[in-house]
């Protein structure tokens, strides 16, 4: 059960192979001269706009998607509910006003020192058509939230598909500028995330509340495009003085 569900491992290799193939064959060019400034900046405070909890009782938050199979016909939808489990069902379809398909997911939660996570839901939707806009809805009652994504094209030679590469994002004011820069590219279709997501581990007691803020921060993009994860050293969260090794959040990533 991954909090940030990893795509099936061979997919990563496949993507790497595709990427190397593309790089080897054509010149993608440099899309922008943007360089994030080198100086360290401070983290956005807990009451920042980007960390706002969505309105409504038990509203789904931290919504994010990742590719759910090797050829791009499945998507894993993940989100967190804070007050109670609620529903793990995803309604979806190609007609915004008629979400005629549904899938049932599962939820999990974990503890880290004195932090207890919300209910972390994962639901895989399968048999998707390629290169198609899907709408999806999660949540119950007045807290239903709707999103959309475009499924990847069919795998083949010379199929255009534009990935963003982001790593070490964190949650500083500059992280926000980096994400805004990525969003400003209208061609971007998916993110290959190179590890080191929230940097929650640099807080006292590895305050996992900073995982929740991070999830809310990236939702504005990660709910609409598959972010394909790899774990970095900051995901190890090794703190034997706080928790037994078997309880570190690492087990929630693998
Ligand atoms: C966890 O423990 C730390 C240190 O005692 C404290 O500052 C923090 O408020 C506690 N958090 C919770 C959720 O109890
Ligand atoms: C983060 O960036 C977004 C988009 O540019 C902006 O609306 C928001 O106010 C920024 N928030 C912070 C805390 O910098």
- Average pLDDT across each block of 10 residues of the chain; the chain has 254 residues. List them in order: 58 43 53 74 96 97 96 96 97 98 96 93 98 98 96 94 93 95 94 93 92 97 96 82 64 44
Q: What is the pLDDT of residue 67?
A: 96
3-state SS assignment for residue 107: strand
Cβ neighbors of 55 (< 8 A, separation 6 or more) are 143
184 C-alpha to ligand 2 centroid (Å) = 13
Given a contact cutoff of 8 angstroms between Cβ atoms, the answer to whether 130 and 152 are in contact is: yes
Given a contact cutoff of 8 angstroms between Cβ atoms, the answer to whether 205 and 176 are in contact is: no
Query: Relative to the CA of 45, which ligand 2 atom is closest?
Result: 13
Ligand nearest to the CA of 173: 2
| Strand pairing report for 111-112 and 115-116 | antiparallel
Full-model pTM: 0.88
> Which of 42, 47, 50 to probe ligand 2 with, by most ligand atoms within 8 A of CB?
50
Cβ neighbors of 213 (< 8 A, separation 6 or more) are 44, 46, 51, 171, 198
Q: What is the spatial distance between Cα 27 and Cα 131, in angstroms, rounded to a whole number?
A: 24
With residue 215 as reference, give the H or E element that holds it.
helix 209-222
Q: What is the pLDDT of residue 216?
A: 98
């Amino acid at each position: 059960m991954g909090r940030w569900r990893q795509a099936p491992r061979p997919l990563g290799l496949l993507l790497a192979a595709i990427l190397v193939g593309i790089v080897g064959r054509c010149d993608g060019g440099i899309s922008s001269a943007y360089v994030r400034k080198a100086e360290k900046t401070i983290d956005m405070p807990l009451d920042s706009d980007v960390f706002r909890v969505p309105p409504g009782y038990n509203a789904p938050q931290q919504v994010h998607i990742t590719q759910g199979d090797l050829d791009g016909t499945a998507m894993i939808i993940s989100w967190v509910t804070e007050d109670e489990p609620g529903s793990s069902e995803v309604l979806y379809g190609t007609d915004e006003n008629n979400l005629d398909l549904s899938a049932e997911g599962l939820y999990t939660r974990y503890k880290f020192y004195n932090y207890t996570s919300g209910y972390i839901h994962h639901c895989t939707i399968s048999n998707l058509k390629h290169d198609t806009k899907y709408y999806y809805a999660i949540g119950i009652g007045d807290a239903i939230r709707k999103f959309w994504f475009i499924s990847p094209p069919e795998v083949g030679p010379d199929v255009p598909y534009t990935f963003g590469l982001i790593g070490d994002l964190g949650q500083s004011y500059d992280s926000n500028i980096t994400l805004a820069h990525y969003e400003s590219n209208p061609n971007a279709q998916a993110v290959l995330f190179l590890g080191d997501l929230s940097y929650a581990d640099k807080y006292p007691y590895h305050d996992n509340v900073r995982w929740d803020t991070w999830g809310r921060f990236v939702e504005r993009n990660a709910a609409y495009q598959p972010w394909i994860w790899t774990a970095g050293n900051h995901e190890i969260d090794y703190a034997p003085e706080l928790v037994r090794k078997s309880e570190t959040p690492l087990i929630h990533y693998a």
